[in-house]
Amino acid sequence: MASEDERAIEAIVMVSDRPVEPHLLAQLLEMPPARVEEICEGLARSYEEQERGFRLVRVAGGYRYQSHPDQAPYVERFVLEGQSARLSAAALETLAIVAYKQPVSRAQVAAIRGVNADAVIRTLQTRGFVQEVGRDPGPGQAALYGTTTLFLEKLGLDRVEQLPPLAQFVPGPEIMDALERSLRADPADAANSAHTADSAHTTDSANEIGPDDDDDQSEDTTDEPPDLEIPE
């Protein structure tokens, strides 16, 4: 049978709309935070052993209930297609930049993406994934943006440091060198191409001029018969 402390933690986490931090649970239950962590870990293990359809996880610095990954097909059926608006590709790109480069300014995001990012960042702020976290000490004191606890909650992370490293998504040095060679023009090849083009142009010009000069220089040397006078 569950203890009173376990039941209290379950009730609090169940009714909360956001992850409940261990120190808050410790204050409510009047016990050390370490004891709260111990109870939560025990509850999480018991749910796994009982193969429940939910689990107690630590995300965004606190604890909350989530559906078990094994039940994803049924949850997907419950969540109707289009019931919640999805982020556009531009919003996902901007959110990734903020997540990995935070704190970052709008100008820095725009420089990385190559397009203005003001509207996209406003959308992400409205959705609760991005927030202003400070000001750049440089000229203009541009606003700096970072991710929110909702972002961590949606990704099932406890800290930003748990984001997967970018190295596994970046091509290796061999591939980058091959791409640079394919995009970089060889000066020797360019000179040869220019020389070939000039030679072809000269040949074409000669062919165009030749027949005209021959026609101009050729004259009809055929002698016409002289006029004969017939005596009367």
The CATH code belonging to domain 89-169 is 1.10.10.10
DSSP E strands, the chain: 54-59, 62-67, 104-105, 130-135, 143-147
| pTM (two decimals) | 0.49
Structure tokens belonging to residue 36? 């709260």
- Tens place of pLDDT per residue across the chain (232 aa): 678 999 999 999 999 988 999 999 999 999 999 999 999 999 999 999 999 999 999 998 899 999 999 998 888 887 765 455 678 889 999 999 999 999 999 999 999 888 998 999 999 998 899 999 999 888 888 899 999 998 998 888 888 888 888 777 776 777 777 777 776 655 555 455 555 555 555 555 545 444 444 444 444 444 454 544 444 4
The CATH code belonging to domain 4-77 is 1.10.10.10
* Rg of the chain (C-alpha set): 39
Q: Which residue has 């097909």 as its token pair?
A: 73
Asked if the domains 4-77 and 89-169 are classified in one and the same CATH topology, the answer is yes
Dihedral of alpha carbons 13, 18, 19, 21, sign: negative
Which sequence spans correspond to the domains of the chain? 4-77, 89-169
> Phi-psi bin for 36: left (phi > 0), alpha (psi -120 to 50), beta?
alpha
